[in-house]
Each structure stands twice: as structure tokens, then as C-alpha cells.
Amino acid sequence: MALENRKWLQRFNLWREKNIKEKQFILILSFLVGIFTATAALILKMLIHLIQGFLTENFDTTEANYLYLVYPVVGIFLAGLFVRHIVKDDISHGVTKILYAISRRQGHIKPHNTWSSMIASSITIGFGGSVGAEAPIVLTGSAIGSHLGSLFKMEHRTLMLLIGCGAAGAVAGIFKAPIAGLVFTLEVLMIDLTMTSLLPLLISAVTAATMSYIVTGQEAMFKFHLDEAFELSRIPYVIMLGIFCGLVSLYFTRAMNSVEGVFAKLQKPYKKLIFGGAMLSILIFLFPPLYGEGYDTIELLLNGTSNEEWNTVMDHSLFYGHSQLLLLYLSLIILFKVFASSATNGGGGCGGIFAPSLYLGCIAGFIFSHFSNDLAITAYLPEKNFALMGMAGVMSGVMHAPLTGVFLIAELTGGYDLFLPLMIVSVSSYLTIIVFEPHSIYSMRLAKKGELLTHHKDKAVLTLMKVENVVEKDFVTVHPEMDLGQLVKAISSSHRNIFPVTDKDGNLLGIVSLDDIRNIIFRQELYHRFTVNKLMTTTPARLLNTSSMEEVMHTFDETNAWNLPVVDESGKYLGFVSKSKVFNYYRNVLVHFSDD
């Protein structure tokens, strides 16, 4: 059966190459990506609601506090078992994996990512894990794009575009936000905006959003009604809110990295489960709104109009009945949400930070405005408006994506009347966090390794290049105990001017340059007097086979060398890299990368 499928695909690809132009076929693929990605997003939502409904059916939530403590731990346990024993691969940090596939894997994402993240995240979130479903579905969508492109033997530049189409379709499908899907792909995944890429991205985003509208209706994801129009006199407070959101984003980013570092040190899965489960249970017991994605809290803060309604956020907690502690309670939630999300993923669950970012932003905006109104030092600031703006602010700061924050919140809520303040908050938040963190929570892991693809064309091209593709291995090796006569024989069989000197284990000891011995190679009386050990010199520098191309070019610039040897981490000789080879490779990649 598999053989028949391969033959059918081969015949189809031959027919397609003759009858369908490449650009037209990319548009067809982007349409298919939009359909499949929207379908995946709808299935994921359905699975989460089915699991949640099954667990809470005929369940009195007023008496369920202790059982709700158990559900998230069971969820991360089951998700962990699924990942370790069925998937057998790491599927966390979905957006980071997409960035890595674009920059280091030529646009190839493993096929299991088309379904594994959906199942793991639906279990995690359905049981109440304190994370979001958006990053897993973005990875799923990108994997669908990559797999479709690989199936039809598309080149790697097209695979990168189809990955972007999958991400755009995922965001558009799960949020009903086509513009946000497009902008997210451009800002976060660093897909360059060209006329060739714009149309496929738009087709995927619009197709996915349309499918979501058809299946789930035309209402925005969050109901929001603008009771008070925005006034220009509030701009200074909007800027201050943006700065506050930027600082919240900074705390969220650094705290999450720190907590993840703690989980990384726990090698055994059961240790991670016990530590993560205990942390998550305690936090949910103290702060029930940390249970699940937190969208109920967002709905409450966006639509509440009085203290009585807002105080219901403290129901079933130790703070119940203490309305004067509302702001303290919400502040503690901001403080501990990052620990709940990290514990969910670190303990074995699977989820993203889209929902936590929206959740924290909504609470941050509410706290800012409510605190200001309580002090009565400023004109009245409508809480629901500022809660909405806070969502854009924190999302922009965490993702380093101000346009995504603006358009996503506007499309999520239908709050287009607040477009100007949304832009101000997003920009203010982004400018605040960029002072402290040059990279987003998604990209900082790759940036530290020099594996991040950016809009900077030179760095992007160097990132796409690999040392292994420029290593030349046609150099004749010699050994230190060889005499000049044996060296001359080696020279006669080589067309190179450099001869690497290695020991019996293949470790690089130095080099012999033809220019250095040219004056004695024809003096036969010296053939047995000199050995390679006396004639060799050290190299100006050595390149590791794990070095990034940016490091390689920096080494060439520092040494002014034209050829440099490449060794592995143990010092074994692997070959040479020449400047001319690098420049030719660079030019080919640049032309390929920039071709519209």
C-alpha cells in the first residue's frame, strides 16, 4: 500500500510539474493548509471541551475544590506518558521548534507534530492544566504545512513559506483572527514579507478563519461591549499602562526561564511530575482562577461592571468574602501564574503561553485602572477598556510582537474602537521590555546558540548556512614522523598547498604549507634529514564542526587566514574551510533566499 502511494505521488508530481506552474501550486497548497489547519484547531477545541465536559458533568463546582486539584496532575501525568511512550520525542516549546525548523532544518518539521501536540495539549488543558492551546496548534499547523510541502517535493524555501502558512492558519483558525495570523507569522516567525509570500499567507489565514466562522458562528471569541469611548486625555495613562505591561512581560519571561531551568535539572520524569504536580495543586487550591486556560476570568473582567461581579473571581478561595483584598488577590495571581504554567509544562504537560499572556494582560490592565480609580487621583479609567488594552500590552511584550498584540486583541474581542490605545499600549510595552530583553521568550533559546533566523538579511543567510556544507576533505594528511622524502611524495599526489598533520588517532597537530618548504623540496640530500614534525607550523585558529557560520566568519576576519582547519570537539581533524568556498556558498544561499 505504501509503495502504491509513493508511485501515485511520483506520477502526480510529474504531471504537476508539466501542467501547473510553481507559484500557482503554492497557492493551492496554501489553501489546503488553511483548511487542514482550521480543521485541526476545531478538533483541538472540541477535544478540550469534551474532556472538560466529561470531567465536570453533573458536578457541583461549589464543592469541587479538592477534586479540581487532582485533575491537572492527572492530566500532566497522562500527557507525559503519551509523549514518552508513544511520541518518544520532545514536543514542548512549539513556536521555538518552528523557529528552529526554519533556521536549521531547512523547513522540515517531524511528521508526528501534525497530531502529537494536539493530543498532548488536549489532555493537559482538558484536565485543567494552566496553559493555552494556541502554541500547540501553531506547531500543528506549521507541521501540516511542512509535511504537505515535503510530500510534493517542494524546495526548502517553499517549505519555510508553507510553515508560515500553517502558523497563520492556526492563529486565524483558533482565534477567528486572520489579520493577527498573518502578522504573527511576519513578526514572530520572521517570514519575510514579499509579494510571493503575502498571497499564500493571506489565503491560509482567510481560509482558516472562514472555516471557523462557518462552524462556530461569527461572534468574536470574547464578548466585549464598549461602554465608554476612548478619550485623548487618557493617553498618558495608556502609556503608563504599556510600561506596566512591559514590566509584567519581563517578569513573566525571566521567571518562566528560571523555573524551566529548575525542571531541566530534574532528570527523572517522575521527579518532574511530583514537583510540578505539587506546585500546580497548591497554586490552584490557593488561587482557583489558575485552573485551566483562564478564559472565564478574562470574560468576567471584560464584561463586569461592578465590584460585586468582579469579586466573584475570589469564589471558592481562601479570599472569599474579603472584597477589600481583590487587588491583592489579582496581584498574587499575576505573581504565581508563571509558576502554574511552568509547572504544567515542566511536570510533563503540553501547552503554550498565548493564553497565559492574554490572562496576565487582562488582569494587569484591570489592576492598573482599578487601583487608579480607588486612589481617585486621576479621572475615571474604565476597567474593562484597560483590561482589554492590558491583553495587547502583555502579549506584545512577551512575544516582542506589537502588531500581533494590536490586531489579535481587536479581532478577539471586536474592540476596534480602541485601536489607537491598543497601539499605544503595545508599542509602550514592547519598547519597555526591549530595553531588558532583546529577544522574545520564543527566540531567546535559539538566539543564545546563534540559530535564530531574523529579518537581517546577512545574519539570516549565515544562519541558514552550515559548516558541514563548506568543509573540503580532499587534503592529503601527513604524520609527524614522516621525513621530507615521504612528504614530497604526498605533495606530488595532491593539488593543494596545505597538508594537515595528524597523529595516529587522527587528531590535528598542525599544518605544513608548501610555501614554507618550497626552497628545500628539490634538495634530495635533505630528504632524510628533516621530518614533518620539524617542518609543521601551528594553525592561526581552528574551527569546530559545531560552530555557527557567524562564528566562522568572525574567526576568518580576526585571523586574516584564507583556509582554516575544522575539528570536532575532541580535536579530530575533519577537513578545511576556505574563504572562497564560504563566499560562493553565501552567494548561492543569498540568491535563493532573496528570490521572489
State how far the Cα of 393 lies from the Cα of 449, in Å rounded to an integer.
Answer: 28
Find, among 327, 304, 305, 302, the residue nearest to 314 by Cα. 327
Work out the average pLDDT over 396-423. 87
Half-sphere exposure of 468 (CA within 13 A, CB side): 4
pLDDT score at 458: 47
pLDDT score at 563: 81
Work out the average pLDDT over 399-420. 85
pLDDT score at 456: 46
> Do residues 347 and 275 make contact, with C-beta atoms less than 8 angstroms apart?
yes
Work out the average pLDDT over 55-60. 65
Cα dihedral sign, 372-377-380-385: negative
Residue 277 has pLDDT above 90, yes or no: no
pLDDT score at 192: 62
> Which is more confidently placed, 439 or 107?
439
| pLDDT digit string, tens, across residues 231-255 | 888 899 999 999 999 999 999 999 9
Name residues whose C-beta falls within 8 Å of residue 566's C-beta, 6 or more positions apart in sequence: 467, 471, 542, 543, 544, 545, 573, 574, 575, 576, 577
Work out the average pLDDT over 62-78. 75
Q: How many separate helices (H) and strands (E) can be counted in the chain?
A: 25, 5
State how far the Cα of 378 lies from the Cα of 205, in Å rounded to an integer.
Answer: 42
Q: Percent helix, strand, coil in the chain (nearest 5)?
A: 70, 5, 25
State how far the Cα of 467 lies from the Cα of 471, in Å rounded to an integer.
Answer: 6
State how far the Cα of 262 lies from the Cα of 284, in Å rounded to an integer.
Answer: 20
Q: Are strands 563-567 and 573-578 parallel, antiparallel or unpaired?
A: antiparallel
Q: Are strands 543-544 and 508-513 parallel, antiparallel or unpaired?
A: unpaired
The one-letter code for the residue type at 247 is L
Lowest mean pLDDT among 14-18, 165-169, 480-484, 519-523: 14-18
The H-assigned helical ranges of 266-382 are: 269-286, 295-303, 307-310, 326-346, 354-375
pLDDT score at 290: 87
State how far the Cα of 401 lies from the Cα of 304, in Å rounded to an integer.
Answer: 28
Q: What are phi and psi of 189, to 5 degrees?
A: -90, -5
Half-sphere exposure of 553 (CA within 13 A, CB side): 17
pLDDT score at 363: 94
pTM of the model: 0.74
C-alpha to C-alpha distances, 463 to 92, 300, 593, nearest whole angstrom = 23, 45, 11
Cα dihedral sign, 96-101-102-105: positive
pLDDT score at 453: 46
Q: Confidence class of residue 72 from pLDDT cuts 50, 70 and 90?
A: confident
State how far the Cα of 63 lies from the Cα of 68, in Å rounded to an integer.
Answer: 10
| pLDDT digit string, tens, across residues 472-509 | 888 888 888 888 888 888 888 887 888 888 888 888 88
> Which is more confidently placed, 99 or 47?
47
| pLDDT digit string, tens, across residues 131-188 | 888 888 988 998 898 888 888 877 777 888 888 899 899 999 998 889 988 988 888 7
Work out the average pLDDT over 7-16. 73
Maximum Cα interatomic distance, the chain, rounded to a whole number of Å: 104
Work out the average pLDDT over 449-477. 61
State how far the Cα of 436 lies from the Cα of 401, in Å rounded to an integer.
Answer: 15
State how far the Cα of 212 lies from the Cα of 176, in Å rounded to an integer.
Answer: 6
> Do residues 575 and 471 make contact, with C-beta atoms less than 8 angstroms apart?
yes
Using left for φ > 0, alpha for ψ between -120 and 50, and beta otherwise, residue 105 falls in: alpha
Query: What is the DSSP-derived secondary structure letter of residue 526?
Result: G
C-alpha to C-alpha distances, 109 to 185, 440, 533, nearest whole angstrom = 16, 21, 48
Q: Which three cell numbers stand for residue 287?
A: 488561587
The H-assigned helical ranges of 465-546 are: 484-492, 514-517, 532-535
Lowest mean pLDDT among 150-154, 251-255, 290-294, 585-589: 585-589
**For all residues of the chain together, what is the average pLDDT?**
82
**Domains of the chain, CATH where assigned:** 2-216 (1.10.3080.10), 232-454 (1.10.3080.10), 460-594 (3.10.580.10)
